Amino acid sequence: MSDQTAPSSTDQTLANLLKEDRRFEPPAELAAAANVKADAYDAARADREGFWAEQAERLTWDTRWDRVLDWDNAPFAKWYVGGRLNAAYNCVDRHVEAGRGDKVAIHWVGEPEGDTRDITYAQLKDEVSQAANALTALGVGAGDRVAIYLPMIPEAIVTMLACARIGAPHTVVFGGFSADALASRIDDCQAKVVVTADGGYRRGTASALKPAVDEARTKTDKIEKVLVVRRTGQDLSVDGEDGWDDAVDVWWHDAVGGASTEHTPEAFDAEHPLYVMYTSGTTGKPKGILHTTGGYLTGAAYTHNAVFDLKPDTDVYWCTADIGWVTGHSYIVYGPLANGVTQVLYEGTPDAPEPGRWWKIIQDYQVTLFYTAPTAIRSFMKQGHEIPDRFDMSSLRILGSVGEPINPEAYVWYRHVIGGDRTPVVDTWWQTETGAVMISPLPGVTAGKPGSAMTAIPGIEADVVDDEGNPVPNGSGGYLVVTSPWPSMLRTIWGDDDRYVDTYWSRFKKQGYYFAGDGAKKDDDGDIWVLGRVDDVMNVSGHRLSTTEIESALVSHPKVAESAVVGASDPNTGQAVVAYVILRNEAGDGGPDIVKELSDHVRKEIGPIAKPRQIMIVPELPKTRSGKIMRRLLRDVAEGRAVGDTQTLADASIMDLISAGQATSTED
Ligand code: PRX
């Protein structure tokens, strides 16, 4: 891992943060009835395995485990050894068997107004069973991988659960990713079936998905069948081709609609793979993070109950994440459904058809628990409180935040404007790799501090350490580590055990700590402030993007010779992508549209989310004598600071050229 120092600007930010002295005590009523109370921390510390055995009792096991944790072959963990269970049974059937079949599992809200569906647990069980039968008929067996490339429609949840039901690990690819990104993920985990839709609604228009799957099929030969949900009814043809291949494509309403609603779930080993979720790493190739069944489901269900103080009989829960990210996996599908909650699922964007859409949904469905990302909160702050003020959101009792550090002002605005100053805000730190929340306040216990994720939740042990792996004293910063294994931890990187060990367990090998890649500080009370990534991974709107991946995309453009990408702090998206590009000689100055051309290229190669905020055409890049790009200096320029120490540069004059060029750079 390179460049392991947190950017200097975060230190300055921290100096301000540490002056934060606002505290928000839990509401008395909430504290009195809280699912998890203060004693849980000590109880978990005193008997960790006993604590996690107790949490696993939340699930229904076909065969009970005989050992809670096998860490003999660290860092390869086995949790609930010998246990057998079915994840879909736990999320659906058992609620129906307990007499809650008529309870609404999903209030689905389509983006076009009035386009809604309420799905009960009994209906969900029928649909999941039908989809399981249909996937089996398409040749999917236990252990086979299925790729899911769908909008936020109920079929996305149904497909994930159907895969879990038959033991076929799913890999959900975010619908905003391009055909290339889809193809490389399918290739990596060798998914043989893709489940997609004709399209989905985004900002009032039907946006196509199926053509990207067709394009992906020209880049990978792994895909045998494509199951297509008809969502928008849009025309599938592209460039005169009809966009349908009878040998491969199957309509969902035929295959699933025609299947039986009877399906007996089979119990799988606790360590049976549940899903692979791709996330950006420090090299170009995304990492397939593998989660398995028993430990993951235990972690998701426990944290969802503890962090949101879930009361399944009365709460209405809503998480705005997309199903294509880990938050959608743990806190839309597995945690909430294992806990038998009623939840809202919304298809579209927050501002369609009008900027108050989210708040209207909260009002209409009387949402009590709401989970979103700082980037969304900041964009609402920008629009002002007048829009949310028009809605009655008095049903809300807890607000959650995830994906990136939440600035204290955004936290206070969220609590005040959305939560009416009644609701605790839980700032939850975790990662695709951790599977479930690790560091967070407990809403009935912790006096919240704006901007701090506070402390590890009961059962989790985390610390901030220095270069040598020693805990830093209060008031100091360092690396965020997890110091003991936890049930929902990733088990490996798909197909690459060495990279798993290297990436997460080699930095503090001696101590056996998991290194998360984040920098953090402990304040004077010992509470944790997560400061962001210390590696070459950016966090744009709560989503991890790899600088290398975007650089590779830029260099694949015929006019580009070399590029360097950095994450620059951005008032709206947390960080934004800033690219420095050297053109090939034969490209001259690249022509008048070069910035747009390159920007469109990145969009096509990776997806709109990776589109640079700014592209600067430069004559050279700052490099050390050994040829390593000095990103720190490029970040200085991108963030408009005086350029730092240039002593180790091979040619110091380069920074003058780049800084001078900054004034005339083009923004797309
Ligand atoms: O840098 C941290 C940031 O998001 C990274 C994990 O990204 P991803 O795997 O995509 O998962 C996002 C949803 C869990 C972390 O390494 N991050 C996430 N939550 C927080 C955060 N940074 C600060 N505070 C948080 N609450």
pLDDT by residue (tens digit) across 60-80?
999 999 999 999 999 999 999
Secondary structure letter of residue 138 according to DSSP: T
Nearest residue to 43 via CA among 560, 459, 514: 459
**From 23-32, 279-288, 309-318, 412-421, the region with the lowest mean pLDDT:** 279-288
**Pocket of ligand 1 contains residue 403 by CB under 6 Å:** yes
Q: What rounded mean pLDDT belongs to the chain?
A: 92
Q: Which of 411, 437, 530, 573, when mutated, tests ligand 1's pocket best, judged by the most ligand atoms within 8 Å of its CB?
A: 530
Q: How confident is the model at residue 626 (pLDDT cuts 50, 70, 90)?
A: low
Q: Is the pLDDT of residue 432 over 60?
A: yes
The winner for highest mean pLDDT among 173-182, 336-345, 637-646 is 336-345
Mutate to test the pocket of ligand 1, among 429, 514, 546 (most ligand atoms within 8 A of CB): 429
Please report the atom of ligand 1 found closest to the CA of residue 429: 26
Backbone angles phi, psi at 388, to 5 degrees: -60, -30
Full-model pTM: 0.90
The pLDDT of residue 531 is: 86
78 Cβ closer than 6 Å to some ligand 1 atom: no
| Structural tokens at position 63 | 């065969």
Nearest to 130 by CA among 258, 249, 267: 258
Query: If you average pLDDT over residues 586-615, what whole number do you get?
Result: 93
User: What residue's CA is closest to ligand 1, atom 22?
Assistant: 404
Ligand 1 pocket residue status of 249, Cβ below 6 Å: no
pLDDT of residue 578: 96
Tell me how far apart the alpha carbons of residues 519 and 526 are, in angstroms, rounded to a whole number.
15
Pairing of β 205-208 and β 199-202: antiparallel
- Looking at the chain, the whole-number percentage of residues with pLDDT higher than 70 is 95
Vertex 399 angle, CA 395 and 405, to 5°: 160
Cis ω on the peptide bond leading into residue 353 (within 30° of 0)? yes
Q: pLDDT higher for 437 or 667?
A: 437
When comparing pLDDT for 562 and 344, which is higher?
A: 344
* 487 exposure class (CB count in 10 Å sphere: 0-12, 13-18, 19+): buried
Structure tokens at 332: 């839309």
pLDDT above 90 for 109: yes
CB-CB contact of 579 with 614 (8 Å)? yes
Ligand 1 near 518 CB (within 6 A): yes
C-alpha 295 – ligand 1 centre gap (Å): 20
The pLDDT of residue 466 is 95
pLDDT tens figures, 351-378? 999 999 999 999 999 999 999 999 899 8
DSSP string, 102-126: TSEEEEEE-SSTT-EEEEEHHHHHH
Task: State which of 415-419, 532-536, 661-665 shows the largest mean pLDDT.
Answer: 415-419
pLDDT over 70 (residue 639): yes
**Ligand 1 centre from 504 Cα, in Å?**
15
Q: Whose CA is nearest to atom 3 of ligand 1?
A: 404
Q: Tell me how far the alpha carbon of residue 404 lies from the centroid of ligand 1, in angstroms.
A: 5
Ligand 1, atom 6, lies closest to the CA of 431
Torsion of CA 306, 426, 491, 281, to 10 degrees: 170
pLDDT of residue 515: 97
Q: Is 427 in the pocket of ligand 1 (CB under 6 A)?
A: yes
Residue of 475, 450, 573, 477 whose CA lies nearest to 531: 477
Q: 130 CB under 6 A from ligand 1?
A: no
366 lines ligand 1 (CB under 6 A): no
Look at residue 355 and give its three-state secondary structure: coil
Judge whether 347 and 110 are in contact, CB under 8 Å.
yes
Which pair of tokens denotes residue 420?
């009416």
Whether residue 441 has its Cβ less than 6 Å from ligand 1: no
- The span from the CA of 638 to the CA of 277, in Å, is 31
Would the CB of 432 count as within 6 Å of ligand 1?
A: yes
Residues in the chain: 668
Residue 402 Cβ inside 6 Å of ligand 1? The answer reads yes
CA-closest residue to ligand 1 atom 23: 405
Please tell me the distance from the alpha carbon of residue 317 to that of residue 338, in angstroms, as a whole number: 13
> Is the previous residue joined to 112 through a cis bond, with omega within 30 degrees of 0?
no
338 phi/psi in degrees, rounded to 5 = -60, -35
| Among the ranges given (18-22, 353-357, 427-431, 614-618), the one the predictor scored with the smallest mean pLDDT | 18-22
Mean pLDDT of 70-92: 98
What are the phi and psi torsion angles at 224 (to 5°)? -100, -35
SS3 571: coil
- What tokens does 617 get? 């055409």
What's the pLDDT score for residue 643?
83
Instruction: Look at ligand 1, atom 18, and give the residue with the nearest C-alpha.
Output: 403
Handedness of CA 634, 636, 640, 642 (dihedral sign): negative
The residue whose CB lies within 8 Å of the most ligand 1 atoms, and thus the one to mutate among 325, 539, 543, is 539
Q: Which residue segments constitute the domains of the chain, with CATH numbers given?
A: 87-266 (3.40.50.12780), 541-667 (3.30.300.30)
Neighbours of 377 (CB within 10 A): 22
Measuring CA to CA, how many Å separate 444 from each of 28, 55, 523? 8, 19, 22
**Per-residue DSSP letters for 408-443?**
HHHHHHIIIIITTTTS-EEEEB--TTT-S--B---T
Classify 240 as helix, strand or coil. coil
User: For ligand 1, atom 15, which residue shows the shortest CA distance?
Assistant: 431
Q: What share of the chain is helix, strand, coil (3-state, %, to 5)?
A: 30, 25, 45
Secondary structure, 3-state, 41-54: HHHHHHCHHHHHHH
Q: Which residue has the higher pLDDT, 290 or 551?
A: 290
Mutate to test the pocket of ligand 1, among 378, 489, 518 (most ligand atoms within 8 A of CB): 518
Q: Is 404 left (phi over 0), alpha (psi -120 to 50) or beta?
A: beta
Question: What's the Rg (C-alpha) of the chain?
Answer: 24
**Percentage of the chain modeled with pLDDT above 90:** 79
What residues form DSSP beta bridges with 227? 195, 250
Tokens of 69: 């944790």
Tens digit of each residue's pLDDT (9 = 90 or more) over 470-506: 999 999 999 999 999 999 999 999 999 999 999 999 9
> Is the distance from CB of 454 to CB of 446 less than 8 angstroms?
yes
d(CA 229, CA 249): 11
Q: Which of 25-29, 138-142, 221-225, 661-665 is least confident?
A: 661-665
pLDDT at residue number 396 = 98
Distance 429 CA to ligand 1 centre (A): 6
CB 375 near ligand 1, within 6 Å? no
